[in-house]
Amino acid sequence: MEAGGRRGRLRREAAEYYRALRVPERMEEALNQLFLQRPDDLYGELANYFSKFSKPPVICKLVGRKLFDAAGRPTLEVEIYCTVKNYEKRICSTVMAAHSQIPENALPETIEANEKERNYSVHTAVEWVNESLNTMLKHLDPTDQCQADKMLGEYFANKVEEKKEKERQEKEKQEEEAAKATPASSLRGPASTPKHKKGGRPATKLSVEASSIPAAEPAESVLCGSLAIGGASLAIAKAGATVSHVPLYLYTALLKHHQESPEGMTLPLPMVTLLNCEKNSPTKLKLVKEVMVIPPVELSLKQGIKRVLDIQKEIIRLLGSSGKKQPTLKISHLGCLTLGYDSLEQLLLQMQIVCSNIGLELGRDMYLAINCAAHDLMDYEKGKYEILTGTFKSPDEMVAMYVEMIDNFPFIIALIDPLRKEDREQWSSICCALGSKCFVIAEDAATQISKLKTEQSINIVKCSGVVLKYINQTKVSDLIELTGILDGQRHVTILGSQDVESSDESLVDLARFLPSLLQAVGLGARFLKLGGLSRGERVAKYNRLLAIEEELAANGALR
Please provide the DSSP assignment of 214-260 as one string. PPPPPPPP--TTTHHHHHHHHHHHHHHHHHTTS-HHHHHHHHHTTTP
> Average pLDDT, whole number, for the chain?
84
Distance CA 430, CA 426 (A): 6
What pLDDT is stored for residue 196 in this prediction? Answer: 41
Task: For domain 57-100+107-165+222-245, say whether CATH 3.30.390.10 is its number.
Answer: yes
Sort strands 290-294 and 269-276 into parallel, antiparallel or unpaired. antiparallel
Count the Cβ atoms, other than its own, within 10 Å of residue 230.
29
Higher pLDDT, 108 or 375: 375
Length of the chain in terms of residues written = 559
For residues 419 and 430, the answer to whether their CB atoms sit within 8 Å is yes
pLDDT at 207 exceeding the cut of 80? no
How confident is the model over 491-500, as a mean pLDDT?
74
Q: What are phi and psi of 293, to 5 degrees?
A: -110, 145
Q: How confident is the model at residue 211 (pLDDT cuts 50, 70, 90)?
A: low
SS3 at position 307: helix
Q: What's the pLDDT at 150?
A: 96
Q: Residue 393: in which H helix or E strand, if any?
A: strand 391-393
| Shared fold status for 57-100+107-165+222-245 and 265-555 | no
pLDDT digits (tens, 9 = 90+) for 318-355: 988 765 555 578 898 899 999 999 999 999 999 999 99
First to last CA, the chain: 75
Q: What is the pLDDT of residue 187?
A: 45
What is the pLDDT, as a whole number, of residue 322? Answer: 63
Which numeric CATH code is attached to 265-555? 3.20.20.120
Where do the H-state alpha helices sit in 497-535?
Answer: 506-510
Known active-site residue 472: yes
User: What is the rounded distance in angstroms from the CA atom of residue 440 to the CA atom of residue 460?
Assistant: 13
Distant-in-sequence, close-in-space partners of 1: CB < 8 Å, separation ≥ 6: none
Residue 107 — φ and ψ, nearest 5°?
Answer: -70, 155
pLDDT at 447 (0 to 100): 64
- pLDDT tens track for 431-489: 999 988 999 998 887 766 656 655 545 556 788 888 888 888 889 988 888 777 776 66
Neighbours of 432 (CB within 10 A): 12
Of 125-129, 262-266, 366-370, the poorest mean pLDDT is in: 262-266
In the chain, where the domains are located:
10-52, 57-100+107-165+222-245, 265-555
Q: How many helices (H) and strands (E) does the chain have?
A: 17, 15
Which residue among 134, 276, 371, 472 is the active-site one?
A: 472
C-alpha neighbours within 13 Å on the C-beta side of residue 145:
28
Q: Which pLDDT tens digit goes with each residue over 360-371? A: 999 999 999 999
Question: Average pLDDT in the 410-427 region?
Answer: 94
Rounded mean pLDDT, 172-196: 63
More confident residue, 491 or 515: 491
Rounded Cα–Cα distance for residues 203 and 170 (Å)? 33
